[in-house]
Amino acid sequence: MAAPGLLLVLQFFFCHCFRSRTKDTEDAVLAKEPNPMDSTSSIEMKSGSGKIPASPLRVAPSPQRVPPSPLRVPPSPLRVPASPGRFSMSPKLDRIGSVHLTMKQAARATQNFSPSLKLGEGGFGTVYKAQLQDGQTVAIKRASKEHSDTLRSEFRSEIELLAKIEHRNLVKLLGYVDKGNERLIITEYVPNGTLREHLDGVHGTCLDFNQRLEISIDIAHGLTYLHLYAEKQIIHRDVKSSNILLTDRMRAKVANFGFARLGENETGNTHVLTKVKGTVGYLDPEYMRTFKLTPKSDVYSFGILLVEILTGRRPVDSRRSPDEKVTIRWAFGKHNNGETMDLVDPQMTEAVDKKIFKKMLNLAFQCAAPTRADRPDMKAVAERLWAIRVKYLKHGGKE
């Protein structure tokens, strides 16, 4: 992570640009985002910086996808309690889904946690694809044994929060195991990899503009649910492209709730005071400065993510020239200089309408405003993205 002095200098510069020109902004953090599947890029405030590998070339766009989900989804109904005899339960976790496994069953389902079934690896541990006896495919996240005790709070946080949510754009918790030094989280299997992988063309095709717009809406719906419609307000704290999973129909689901926190719902309280956690490049600068966490911190991260979706570039890329290393700063400068269309991901082969693109980019800059008072809330963001979609489709992708 960049030195505090550098952060303050960059933040001052962009506060000035933001207020004097438009309500567009950028992120002033110059640091590391490693391999997209490596959740060790999710850090606490004391973590160091490093280099980011450049994105590989991407190829032709994939077909258009299905219509997005509606904005509001009601809070989840009570779910069937898990059997206490099968895995450890907490009174707060009496709403877990229907997958109840022992460690022996989990090992069998993952072929003894075979590397060939590994989906990803990060700070918490490794995620495996698992085939259950009834034929159901799930994902099992196994905590690293060497970090089992130190990661217990992250484990408990994730299962307690996942147990409270039910939304089509959020990864669903199916069960968990907490026995001895083994900790497993069992979730639905999302088969099509991460958003970052698709931006990199890892799966053989590049996302077209329509897909990027629809995915942005899906993510905004999921975060809106967490902030407004969950049983209790939830702040994700680690919104980034490698934590967005895509289904076989290209639906987006927000994943990895290890850093998530309950928001302040009591009257008069506007924030949660907590140590900084998240991913460098996506971190809200006001949260880093004040340690005050609000849903607007997720909004900031979403703004950075939206620029990433539009440009195909990671938030920070040390292999680029100095004026292009921080993507939000580069994009902000290009936009203000009237070179907006230079920001379009070159891997999108179709023509992109300038007015539609600018509307999405302006929204991204507003979300990434340096102070939270200047950012919209996620509900307003989702509504604006939906309006952009309606206009886009009304004119057949052209305005």
Show which residues are catalytic. Answer: 238
Q: Kindly report the three-state secondary structure assignment for every residue of the chain.
A: CCCHHHHHHHHHHHHHHHHHCCCCCCCCCCCCCCCCCCHHHEEECCCCCCCCCCCCCCCCECCCCCCCCCCCCCCCCCCCCCCCCCCCCCHHHCCCCCCCCCHHHHHHHCCCCCHHHEEEECCCEEEEEEECCCCCEEEEEEECHHHCCCCHHHHHHHHHHHCCCCCCCECCEEEEEEECCEEEEEEECCCCCEHHHHHCCCCCCECCHHHHHHHHHHHHHHHHHHHHHCCCCEECCCCCHHHEEECCCCCEEECCCCCCEECCCCCCCCCEECCCEEECCCCCHHHHHHCEECHHHHHHHHHHHHHHHHHCCCCECCCCCHHHCEHHHHHHHHHHCCCHHHHCCCCCCCCCCHHHHHHHHHHHHHHCCCCHHHCCCHHHHHHHHHHHHHHHHHCCCCC
Q: Which amino acid is at 242?
A: S
